[in-house]
Amino acid sequence: MIGRLRRDAGQAFPIYVVMVAGLLFLVFAFFAVGKASALRNGAQGAADAAALAAARQARDEFEAPFLASLPEDLLDAYLQSHPVGGCSAAQGLADANKADVRNCLPIPGGYRDRIQVEVDGRNKVDSPVLPGSKQTYAKAKATAVIEFRCSWTSVDLNEDSIRDIFFFTCGSDFLEIRPSSPPPWSQVSKILYDVHLVDN
């Protein structure tokens, strides 16, 4: 009877080994998936921050041409087709979030310009249970828009076809700009243009 119990115990031991090995594999797999998810979330945060930084820089660099009086149609054309830049600010925010900008693409769009940023995280997934993970980095993409948010009109005080005052209504904000003495662009750009993230 004792010999039979020993044989049964000997036969069960490999099963226990397999079960323990399977449980350890599951633990490592769950850990790897959790780490990959955390790295992916971190990369997405870096991409979001970089895209917003690039969009804000682009907005700051627009500086509508209020340095002299302009015909109304020229200002309208500018508001729809100004140059879009800003990518130099993206890397700073990506770097602060442990990522590197792989691509930054300004996309002009009239009253609604976009900047799309792609980043690579700096930390590897590096899991022994996920093949190829030793050289796998989290990647993410984000898109921010710079959107003109106002309606506007202008007046020609001297009836010389030159608009002397521009009035902008931007939600609850009202802005008056005289091209002969324009306010600092840093004071008005945040009123005229909204910056926010959109789905890619």
Contacts of 41 (CB under 8 A, 6+ apart): none
At residue 50, the pLDDT reads: 95
Question: For every one of its 200 residues, what pLDDT tens digit does the chain have, with 9 covering 90 and above?
Answer: 555 545 555 566 566 666 666 666 666 656 666 667 788 889 999 999 999 999 999 888 887 665 444 555 667 777 777 778 888 899 999 999 989 999 999 988 877 899 999 999 888 766 555 555 566 778 999 999 999 888 888 888 888 777 788 899 998 999 998 877 888 888 888 998 999 999 97
pLDDT of the residue at 5: 45
Give the residue extent of every domain in the chain.
2-198
User: How high is the pLDDT of residue 188?
Assistant: 87
What pLDDT score was predicted for residue 40?
86
